[in-house]
Chains A and B, each alone.
Chain A
Amino acid sequence: MNKSQAINLLENEGWTKADAMRALEVIDFKSNPDEITIRRATSRFAGTELINRQRLQASQKGMVTKKNKEIERTHQEYTAKINGLNQSYQKEQEKYATQIQHLSNTNKVLETQLQNANTQNNELVKANQQLQKDNKDLKNIIDGIKLKLTMNIKQLLQYEDSEIRKALIHMFKSTLG
């Protein structure tokens, strides 16, 4: 009997393939062993040993099931958390989008106000520059009139008439104020 035949024999009797292979490790199949040799070698894995192994397997399966359930639960927890976070992120995003829109509107209003203020300021600067010049121009015109008057009076004072001279001297004095 070769190894495959021996494994088939044991599988037909309810062994798992892995158990069969483990039990047959001690057999030298080059010597073409018969069924009795195989059964003798595998008998150590039957009975109590098999029951213990099956119990162990069941226990391991139970642990796997428990672990799977735990993983499933954790997965669900994290999914719920992620969903919660996504929702709050979305809410935050909507809140910020509203705020950004609000700030953008305020910004536009301020921009318009700034433009108006700039325009008004430019107008005032121009008016101020004009006032500066006008103020000085007026002052110079008045001073120019005074100067001209003084010069004319001085010229007229060369003449003799005493009454006119008196009047002119009075006028001359009035230009000195």
Chain B
Amino acid sequence: MNLENKGLRELFSLANQIGNKRYHKLTHQDFEKYREFDYWRYVNGDYECGTTQESRDWVTENSDSYCPICEQHYSVKGGKTIDHKLPRSQYPWLSMNFHNLWVICRDCNQEKSEMNWYEYEHYIFVNYHDWYPVVKAARPKLLLHSLKD
């Protein structure tokens, strides 16, 4: 592949293609780890059966009345949700790692969707510059560093 004639935009696009590619195999064990969170969060692991007391207690202990990102009251932003800083669909082994969880409002969670961490920081920096310091402070440094182990 000739990279010399490509612009920065194309080079980033190429890097993204590989970065977003899941060339590893998502194994049965990965799926089990992915589901561990559901069993902790939802009764019988089923979203429709409601949340478990244990996970509700954790949410209470790890949040106040305002979303740490948008600083809006949860009641006007769709309520509290637990987000995986590093998405569990891509980091199944971190599905039940509490360093990877934080409570944010539903709207912010939906906007973050499946973004990787720096992708999300970049998104916030460009689109919601004022929120960037909070998001940067929430960066899961240890977990990101553990990828190099």
Residues of A within 8 A of B (CB): 125, 128-129, 131-140, 142-144, 146-147, 150-151, 154, 171, 173-177
Contact = CB atoms under 8 A, between A and B. Distances in A.
B116 A136 contact: yes
B12 A174 contact: yes
A145 B41 CA distance: 35
Interface of A is mostly: helix
Interface of B is mostly: helix
Contacts of A174: 7-9, 12
B83 interface: no
A13 B91 CA distance: 121
Contact of B19 (A129, A139, A176, A177): A139
Given A139-B19, A140-B116, A125 B27 contact: yes
Contact of A146 (B18, B20, B122, B146): B122
Given A137-B148, A177-B12, A147 B24 contact: no
Interface string B81-121: 00000100011010000000000000000000000111101
A135 B116 contact: no
A138 B12 contact: no
Given A125-B27, A133-B149, A174-B8, A147 B91 contact: no
Given A133-B149, A135-B23, A142-B12, 8 more contacts: A133-B148, A136-B147, A137-B148, A139-B116, A143-B117, A146-B118, A146-B122, A177-B13
B134 interface: no
A177 B11 CA distance: 10
A173 B9 CA distance: 8
A131 B19 CA distance: 12
Contact of B21 (A125, A135, A151): A135
Given A143-B122, A146-B122, A147-B125, A175 B24 contact: no
A108 B110 CA distance: 56
B23 A143 contact: no
B126 A143 contact: no
Nearest to A125: B27
